[in-house]
Amino acid sequence: MSNPREVDLAIIGGTVVSPSGARRAGIAVDGGRIVAIAADELLPPARRTVDAAGMLLLPGLVDSEAHPGCYSPLRDDLGTESRAAAAAGVTTWGVHAPSTRMGHPNFVDFVQPDDVVSFHEVFGHFVEAVEADSAIDVFLTYMLETDRQAQEIPEYARDHGVTSYKLYLQSMSPEAEPHWPGRRAGLGHGFDDGVVYVTMENVAALGPPGVVCMHCENWEIARIFDGRLRAEGRTDWAAWSDRSPHFLEAHHVRGYGYIAEVTGCPIYIQHATTPETYREIAELRARGVTCWAQTGPHWLHFGKGERNAWRINVPLRSRENNPNIWSALREDTINSVGSDHVVSWVPSDYETSFSPDIWSLKTGFTSRVEMHLPVLLEGVHRGDISLERLVEVACANPARIFGLYPRKGALEVGSDADIVLVDPERVVTVSNSQVLTRSGWTVLDGHTIHGWPVATFLRGRQVARWEDGAPGPEYIGDSDGRYLRREVGSALVDLAAPARVG
């Protein structure tokens, strides 16, 4: 009898975690795919063996929302932030971008309304940037602004493999909003309900995995609260949350959820943070609307007005509300977690970014992708969610919703060998010196986390590690991320088919 063929990699001694449970098993990898999951002694011989004794083996995280290129050129952001993502256990990024943030060299000092072009004009630049500079795999969610872009959705799905589309509803009326996020975020155009309707109509016609993502927050009403708070002399950080109370989020879910019902369009609520929103989501689902919901690590971990909490859209809610978010995540009202990662600051720029006056503080904060898995692990430690639920909401569900499962988000034979080793016993008091994000700082500075990712593999190649005794994580991979096309008409990917790139 001939000896078994040698494979590229075997990871032994660990515990493989899936949404259905955890089991002691090893994983064999060849050609970038998982070829066996079995007891260690049953795995084929391997050219490299990694001892994962005491470790949890998780699928690489599928981060459904990230914004590289938001404040800096796309290639600069991909070059640093995807490495930070990899070190934190994220192996697939869902990048949300308008046409002005797709890497076109003419859109560096953006943006004016006339710059909002068809995605046909910029898609090639984006793929080139990903394949040259990204450390992890990337899929696209287009942020739509114009009638033309909404009308071209069938072409984008066919030609670009893009099946998810974002409506940044807070930027619909730029002339009315004192803090309009458009110009700073690379958006050059307000849009109206006609764009919303055509977008949902065309995405519904795609079939699965077509989906419309929505940032729900009515800034037209927020401007009224904004004016009142300023008139009262409020400058404290909690004022940012008070200017956008719970019902402004829930109102958009109700109003635009109705258009989704009329058109038959699946929708994905990007930032579901309040009980009022959860009631609207339940009502939509009861009426037959396919409605998924996402939260992020910062809403789970921080509360409004705290010094480290910063300013964000939608705003952080009260500390008393945090258990509501964890409960919604545990009970499947919230189906997914995304980092909403943005970086806008040069290294060591925390002090110049900070302001005690909320109105002059920069919106957003850095290093969110590096807190994604740690915050969820801390939730497991506290008993807020199970380890199996963590894998479901951070890996499997986003891959399913966005048409990447089971190639991504799963540890199954035939899946891409995107694997994260987590040390459940490692206790980390986070410091700014440990992060890889370009800005060099994190709002988690000083916070203690129980459990931490210590090794990341992308398609079977190790790209990050945090060895015992080392001061922090280290990126050790190459810029070999791939652009991931998705196909309309099916929510699943054929594991037998070769990976499609570009």
Provide the total of helices (H) and of strands (E) in the chain, helices listed first: 15, 19
| Single-letter amino acid code for the residue at 221 | I
Give the distance from CA 431 to its chain's centroid: 23
Q: What would the pLDDT profile of 271-327 be if each residue is shown by its tens digit?
A: 999 999 999 999 999 999 999 999 999 999 999 888 777 889 999 999 999 999 999
Q: What would the pLDDT profile of 468-486 be if each residue is shown by its tens digit?
A: 999 999 999 998 999 999 9
Q: What is the CATH number of domain 58-401?
A: 3.20.20.140
Give me the residue spans of the domains in the chain. Answer: 58-401
Query: Which residues touch 230 (CB under 8 Å, ≥6 apart)?
Result: 359
- Taking each helix axis as running N to C, give the angle between helix 74-87 and helix 368-382, from 0 to 180 degrees, rounded to the nearest 10: 20
Q: What would the pLDDT profile of 216-248 be if each residue is shown by its tens digit?
A: 999 889 999 999 999 999 999 999 999 999 999
Give the closest residue to 86 by CA, choosing from 449, 456, 365, 357.
456
pLDDT of 356 over the 60 cut: yes
Query: Which residues touch 464 (CB under 8 Å, ≥6 apart)?
Result: 83, 86, 87, 453, 455, 456, 473, 474, 475, 476, 477
pLDDT of 84 over the 50 cut: yes
Share of the chain above pLDDT 90, in %: 78
Q: Would you call 349 exposed, middle or buried from its count of C-beta atoms within 10 A (0-12, 13-18, 19+)?
A: middle
Q: What would the pLDDT profile of 418-449 be if each residue is shown by its tens digit?
A: 999 999 999 999 999 999 999 899 999 999 99
For 40-95, the DSSP string reads: GGGSPPEEEEEE-TT-EEEEPEEEEEE-TTSSS-HHHHHHHHHHHHHHTTEEEEEE
Cα dist from 110 to 6, 129, 152, 185, 209, whole Å: 52, 18, 23, 9, 32
Higher local confidence (pLDDT), 479 or 109: 479
Q: pLDDT category, 105, cuts 50, 70, 90?
A: confident
pLDDT of 110 over the 50 cut: no
pLDDT of 353 over the 90 cut: no
How many CB atoms lie under 10 A from the CB of residue 28? 27
Phi-psi bin for 283: left (phi > 0), alpha (psi -120 to 50), beta? alpha
**Pairing of the two strands 90-97 and 137-143:** parallel
The chain-wide mean pLDDT, for the chain, equals 91
Cα–Cα distance measured from residue 415 to residue 399, given in angstroms and rounded to the nearest whole number: 12
